[in-house]
Amino acid sequence: MTGASSGIGRAVAHALARRGATVIACARREALLQQLVEELGSDRHWYVVCDVSDLESVRAMAAEVAGRTDHLDLLVNNAGRPGAGLIAEATPEEVESVLKTNLIGGIWCTQLLHELIDASPSTPRLPAVVNVASISGRIPLPGAATYTASKFGMVGFSEALWAEMRNRDIHVTVVNPGLVHTEGFPMDEVLGMPLLRRLVMSPDRVAEALCEGVETGRAEVRVQRWWSGVYYLLFALGPYRRRLLRGFLRLVNKAVTTKR
């Protein structure tokens, strides 16, 4: 599992370990990975330091995993980073980093670990690939074009991968959470707004929804299911959805300004 050192990834590692899985945790920060493996409480769990935005790092990780196990039941592509802000203000290097971490890294991991996934014994729900995207992979996030593009890409990759893998008995699930309060995505301002704080979830809630999605074979997990209604409403509105999104953005900006 990538992005395991904090946030959703760390919560998923604990949720999987509670279910009896052997966790192979991947992330950039070794000290946090060591701490995580100690928390999981068994020497069957281990970690690999890996930066998914670097192809050679992903290749090294895949080689190490292949050297220690002959199959992989579940791949969770979870590594992610915040967006680069407004496209006119972001540097090309920031845009590249977002796309590599949030999208391309997951594609590389799936490619380079595919043989191990394919070698996993087939059960009704495993082997599986789980891609953690975002509700902004379905509903564009104003003011975060690069982040939105990366998540739309991950949703599209997941749907295409589902069609590609279905005849090989490999299940594919995409998880689309909404606002989640984590180290990388702090939601302190939103949590301070009475009208919006209920939109924010904990990483544990997302982790449980992810595991339940795998256990039930769901192709897509929207952790807060009311987002589905928002998605279909925006789809039905067609071009008028842009006016609604602009109005929502003005409301959020006004709330933030008032809070400050």
Q: Residue 111: give the domain boundaries.
A: 7-259
**Least-confidence region, from 7-21, 98-112, 166-180, 190-204:** 190-204
Q: Establish if 45 belongs to a structural domain.
A: yes
SS3 128: strand
Does residue 35 register a pLDDT over 60? yes
Banded pLDDT at 190 (limits 50, 70, 90)? low
Mean pLDDT value across residues 7-18 = 96
For the chain, helix (H) and strand (E) counts, in that order, are 11, 8
Does residue 124 register a pLDDT over 70? yes
* Tokens found for residue 115: 């043989």
Total of domains in the chain: 1
Compute φ and ψ for 24, nearest 5 degrees. Answer: -110, 105
What pLDDT score does 17 carry?
97
Does residue 224 register a pLDDT over 60? yes
The catalytic residue among 47, 147, 231, 240 is 147
Q: Establish if 2 belongs to a structural domain.
A: no
Does residue 260 register a pLDDT over 60? no
Q: Establish if 86 belongs to a structural domain.
A: yes
Give the CATH number for residue 126: 3.40.50.720
Please give the Cα distance from 220 to 235 (Å, whole number).
17
Banded pLDDT at 34 (limits 50, 70, 90)? very high
Does residue 255 register a pLDDT over 60? no
Please give the Cα distance from 161 to 84 (Å, whole number).
27
SS3 182: coil
**Least-confidence region, from 19-23, 228-232, 254-258:** 254-258
Q: Establish if 134 belongs to a structural domain.
A: yes
Q: Is 147 a catalytic residue?
A: yes
Q: Establish if 125 belongs to a structural domain.
A: yes
What pLDDT score does 252 carry?
58
Say what percent of the chain tops pLDDT 70: 82
What pLDDT score does 50 carry?
98
Which one is predicted more confidently, 112 or 250? 112
Unique residue bearing structure tokens 């052997």: 22
Q: Establish if 185 belongs to a structural domain.
A: yes
Please give the Cα distance from 2 to 24 (Å, whole number).
9
Q: What is the DSSP letter of 122?
A: P
Mean pLDDT value across residues 217-242 = 75
Q: Establish if 1 belongs to a structural domain.
A: no
Provide the mean pLDDT of the chain: 88
What pLDDT score does 256 carry?
47
Q: Establish if 181 belongs to a structural domain.
A: yes
Count of CB atoms within 10 A of residue 149's CB? Answer: 20
Mean pLDDT value across residues 210-225 = 92
Mean pLDDT value across residues 160-164 = 94
What pLDDT score does 259 carry?
44
Does residue 135 register a pLDDT over 90? no
Peptide bond into 127 cis (omega under 30): yes
Q: How far is CA 139 from CA 6, 133, 253, in A?
A: 25, 12, 18
Q: Which of 81-85, 125-129, 135-139, 200-204: highest mean pLDDT? A: 125-129
Unique residue bearing structure tokens 């070698």: 119
Provide the β-strand partners of residue 174. 131, 220
**Least-confidence region, from 78-82, 95-99, 230-234:** 230-234
Which one is predicted more confidently, 147 or 234? 147
SS3 105: helix
Mean pLDDT value across residues 137-166 = 91
